[in-house]
Amino acid sequence: MVISVVLVLVVVTILGIGLEGEERRAEGEPDVVSSMIVNNEQYLTVVANRNEIENEEEFTKLLIKMYEENSFHSVKFSRDMVEPERVYVKVYLWKQDIKKENPILRIKYCLCK
């Protein structure tokens, strides 16, 4: 009886880990995984959450729009203290690529007045 319960728990755990890995690889909206402000410059690390970026120009427009609308899922920017003049974005396809790969896209965005 005890062995059956332990065996069921092991199988459920293994299946759960497998599903979690699949969910992380599901394509979706780009998202910020890191944000840092130094002086009047903001540095973002973004994951595209997709296997490839077919049109870099359109993807860049999407990221700028999401930044301006403050519509990233994981991060909401507070602009009441500092409004950065420039934003530098490094884009990776997936979160696990960040320490293994170079960014697939770099974006410099000026909010200069």
Percentage of the residues of the chain whose pLDDT score is greater than 90: 62
Q: How far is CA 51 from CA 27, 30, 57, 85, 102, in A?
A: 7, 12, 17, 31, 15
Number of domains in the chain: 1
Domain membership flag for residue 9:
no
Please indicate, yes or no, if residue 39 is contained in any of the structural domains.
yes
Domain of 65 in residue numbering reads as: 28-110
pTM: 0.74
**13 is a domain residue:** no
35 is a domain residue: yes
| 3 found inside a domain | no
1 band by pLDDT with thresholds 50, 70 and 90: low
16 inside domain? no
Asked if pLDDT for residue 86 goes beyond 50, the answer is: yes
**Please, are residues 93 and 50 in contact by the beta-carbon 8 Å criterion?**
yes
In a domain, 81, yes or no: yes
